[in-house]
Amino acid sequence: MVANHESEAASAAAPGAGATVDPMRLASRWRSPAEWEFAAAELDAEPLPSELNTVNSSGLFAVVSTDKLSVKYLGSHLHGHDVGVVQADRPAPTRRAVYYFEMGVKNAGYKGQTSIGFTSGSFKMRRQPGWESNSCGYHGDDGYLYRGQGKGEPFGPKFTSGDTIGAGINYLSQEFFFTKNGSLVGAFPKDIKGPLYPTVAVHSQGEELTVNFGKEPFCFDIEGYILEEKMRQQSMTDKLKLEENISHVIVRSYLLHYGYQDTLNSFDMANATDPPGSRQNGHREPPEMYGLSHRKLLRQLIMSGDIDSTFKRLEEWYPQVIKDEKSVICFLLHSQRFIEYIRAEQLEDAVTYARAKLASFLTHKAFEGLLKESVALLAYEKPAESCIGYLLDCPQREFVADAVNAAVLSTNPAMKDPESCLYSCLERLLRQLTVCSFERRAFNNDQGDAFLLHKEVRNCERSHRS
């Protein structure tokens, strides 16, 4: 029944060339800011190492303190199998550009044989990291790097009491790297697969270490390092050549698609007079020209909150879009009308309107989220300051305006691809980039960071502020 209803709504909203444009897809994109945050967190979420593992450690030779962030050697150091080695409680996360942690050598003890590195889950917990296969370690007594063979190789300076030593995995370059007192010591290829645990070890009387999994600021400028690595990555992609003016073409088609006509005209004018020949080079007019000035006006009306006029204009220009009272477009417009009543503090009108126009949508599951939150606005004395105050913000109007825009585009008899009504060229490119980037990471054993537009845009704004 519900499914039937949905398909009715879709076909009613898109009588165009018999193609099926489902603006419900736009509605399914509707999310409250809380949902956005949740979704973003979910994509990035990965358990992080936060403390030392007190269960699976060589308890005979080392003791981890109660804060689970420091370790001390207990044994008497007789041979190579009485190492006090401790792993972190969880493996290093992989869905990021770089993972990094540090240890502080509180006391280098009798022989200064502290070490730091990464080990696999099956690591023998009585050996130094790097002595066994599937592990690597930087050792304090000789400054050597150990990579799974018994013999180490010259790598960096020795380290002792008072030094801060860091170990990291660079997933972009597929390298391990170590730091000492805030400076990079060196990097080498990461040839170990599978989950890797941050690991530290003590191996002689009196040796004592603390670890920092990021709770405290790092000694090494890890943010700067990541930025540099990303720049290096970018310099690789920067070598690729783009067709000239491609960005102009894409921005222009974005403005066309959404009916930002004033911006578009201004953009065309600027490009006609600006010297660096940024003119359209023979690209055919995109199909989004369709109904441009109507779409612009409809957008303006919705953005100014005038939903009554929007209905009138639609009735006049594109009656098929609002013919079905049960359609998605009608729902979105009605709910927006309701929101505008709330904004104007006409609560009684809002209630009357909701009873007449919105109640019938209550049984429709797809509308549930938006409808419930909209109606909830009635409960607040100052709805703009409530947790659902975002409904009164500009993006909500724009969301409705975009849906109407898509519905109008779908009435174009010349429309070939129904997808093109919903998504601008820019959006399709960004979707492709997102999927490609996530797929690529999946092939890479889930290592590295993947593209998310929101993160990208936010980073860019953060750098403006700093």
Partner 1 sequence: MFLSRIVLRDLDSIDSPVSMASSKKVVTRDEWERKLRDVKIRKEDMNRLVMNFLVTEGFVDVAEKFRIESGTQPEIDLATITDRMEVKKAVQSGNVQEAIEKINDLNPTILDTNPQLYFHLQQQKLIELIRAGKISEALEFAQEELAPRGEENQTFLEEIEKTVALLVFEDIKNCPYGELLDVSQRLKTASEVNAAILTSQSHEKDPKLPSLLKMLLWTQNQLDEKAAYPRINDLTTAELQDPSI
What is the rounded CA–CA span in Å between residue 190 and residue 454? 30
CB of residue 284 vs partner 1: minimum separation in angstroms?
A: 9
Q: Give the Å distances, CA to CA, from 398 to 187, 224, 391, 450.
A: 49, 37, 11, 28
CB of residue 442 vs partner 1: minimum separation in angstroms?
A: 9
CA triple 187-201-148, angle to 5 deg: 50
The rounded radius of gyration (Å) of the Cα atoms in the chain is: 30
Sign of CA dihedral 189, 191, 196, 199: negative
CB of residue 398 vs partner 1: minimum separation in angstroms?
A: 6
CB of residue 182 vs partner 1: minimum separation in angstroms?
A: 25
Task: Specify the residue, 160 or 437, whose C-beta has the smaller distance to partner 1.
Answer: 437
Task: Specify the residue, 83 or 450, whose C-beta has the smaller distance to partner 1.
Answer: 450
Task: Specify the residue, 19 or 202, whose C-beta has the smaller distance to partner 1.
Answer: 19
Q: Which of 345, 373, 346, 380 is nearest to 358 (CA)?
A: 373
CB of residue 190 vs partner 1: minimum separation in angstroms?
A: 18
Q: Which residues bind partner 1 (CB under 8 A)?
A: 25, 29, 31, 36, 39, 234, 236-238, 240, 242-243, 246-247, 249-251, 253-255, 258, 260-263, 265-267, 269-270, 275-276, 283, 299-300, 303, 394-395, 397-399, 402, 424-437, 439-440, 443, 451, 453-454, 456-457, 460-461, 463-466
Q: DSSP alpha helices (H): ranges in 283-376?
A: 292-303, 307-317, 319-322, 328-343, 347-353, 368-376
Task: Specify the residue, 34 or 303, whose C-beta has the smaller distance to partner 1.
Answer: 303
CB of residue 436 vs partner 1: minimum separation in angstroms?
A: 4
Task: Specify the residue, 244 or 308, whose C-beta has the smaller distance to partner 1.
Answer: 244
CA triple 33-35-41, angle to 5 deg: 105
Task: Specify the residue, 285 or 381, whose C-beta has the smaller distance to partner 1.
Answer: 285
What is the rounded CA–CA span in Å between residue 151 and residue 207? 23
CB of residue 306 vs partner 1: minimum separation in angstroms?
A: 15
What is the rounded CA–CA span in Å between residue 166 and residue 441? 26
Q: Which of 170, 196, 193 is nearest to 88 (CA)?
A: 196
Task: Specify the residue, 83 or 392, whose C-beta has the smaller distance to partner 1.
Answer: 392
Q: Give the Å distances, CA to CA, from 42 to 47, 142, 449, 462.
A: 11, 43, 14, 22
CB of residue 260 vs partner 1: minimum separation in angstroms?
A: 5
Q: Which of 103, 113, 106 is nearest to 167 (CA)?
A: 103
Task: Specify the residue, 154 or 275, whose C-beta has the smaller distance to partner 1.
Answer: 275
> How would DSSP label each residue in 349-395?
HHHHHIIIIIGGGTT-GGGHHHHHHHHHGGG-SSGGGSTTGGGGSHH
